[in-house]
Amino acid sequence: MTAVEHILGEDWTVVPAGGSTGTAYYAKSDQRRLFLKRNSSPFLAVLSAQGIVPKLVWTKRLENGDVLTAQQWLDGKALNPEEMQHPRVAKLLSKIHHSSELLDMLLRIEKQTQMPTQILAKMKEKVKTTDDADCSLVIHKALKYLEDRLPYVYYSKPVVCHCDLVHHNWMLSKNGELYLVDWDNAKVGDPAMDIGRILQSYIPKQEWDQWLSHYGEENNAHFMQRMHWYLMIDAIHGYTWNVRRDKMKVAHQHMSELQQLLDQVNDWNL
């Protein structure tokens, strides 16, 4: 019997929930079903209280010191890419970004805000120590753009950013509740980090203004500069991360996105 099964008792069946970390499980008994995770962020309690993730049922400490959390099992499905265009996605993200409770809690845990100067310095170091990246003309062009735009991308109102807004992290329950799950990468920083990923990946460009109005943000040159700045950082990170793991096909997808972003900032004079 595993430590997780021991805590639940013999009436429960526990199976791995998949994912790269191997720390999540589905558990069910005759009466109940739960989603379990080892060492979730303490942030989870505030997210649950605000209805952003499925309800937190309990938290228990295992003998080895790991913390196990149990959430209500979500009967529902992940959003598909087209469903990301729904106004409810923009409105839930806006609610998250405007929550002072979430910000206070994450600042207590993280104790720092993601600042452009530090982000760029770390990225330059990653590029330097990744062979293919250091030789890439596209990456050098992007780093030059990021350096030149540093004075213009500061934002004075940092928020809680999810930082992994792929469509399968948005869950719709059978009762119609929308949740955003998998908060392991959350950071305090510019909301453009999150908004840019959704716009670039899921929203047709002719609908960006409308999506932003549902969110409550005006589409202007300053916002677009910040958004593209963080998208380029994201693309370089994706490239270096995958090159280091010899996943060249995925790395080249990130390189293509980086070239597309450079073209966009050139075309739009950002």
pLDDT given at position 179: 96
pLDDT given at position 3: 66
* Helices vs. strands in the chain: H and E counts, helices first: 11, 10
Kindly give the confidence (pLDDT) of every residue in the chain, 270 residues in length, as a single tens digit, with 9 standing for 90 and above: 466 666 776 778 887 876 555 578 888 887 788 888 887 777 888 999 999 999 998 888 887 888 888 888 888 899 999 999 999 999 999 999 999 999 999 999 877 899 999 999 999 999 999 887 667 899 999 999 999 999 999 999 999 999 999 999 999 999 999 999 989 899 999 999 999 999 999 999 999 999 999 999 999 999 999 999 999 999 999 999 999 999 999 999 999 999 999 999 999 999
Q: Which two tokens stand for residue 220?
A: 């202007």
Domain 3-73 has CATH 3.30.930.10: no
CA pair distance 70, 207, nearest whole angstrom: 39
If you ran DSSP here, which 8-state letter would residue 207 be given? G
Sheet holding 33-38, edge to edge: 13-16, 24-28, 33-38, 67-72, 56-61
- Whether this prediction's pTM lies above 0.85 is answered by yes
pLDDT given at position 141: 97
Domains 3-73 and 78-267 share a fold: no
Nearest Cα to Cα of residue 194 among 152, 223, 236, 237: 223
Q: Which are the contacts of 171, defined by CB distance < 8 A and separation ≥ 6?
A: 54, 74, 76, 77, 78, 79, 178, 179, 180, 181
Report domain extents, the chain. 3-73, 78-267
CA pair distance 140, 188, nearest whole angstrom: 27
Partners of 178 in beta bridges = 172
What is the set of active-site residues? 164
pLDDT given at position 1: 43
Please report, for residues 110, 121, 259, the alpha-carbon distance to residue 103 in angstroms, rounded to integers and kept in the order given.
Answer: 10, 25, 34
Contact 126, 133 (CB under 8 A): yes
Taking only Cα atoms into account, the Rg of the chain, rounded to an integer number of angstroms, comes to 20
> Domain spanning 78-267: which superfamily?
Aminoglycoside phosphotransferase (APH), C-terminal lobe (3.90.1200.10)
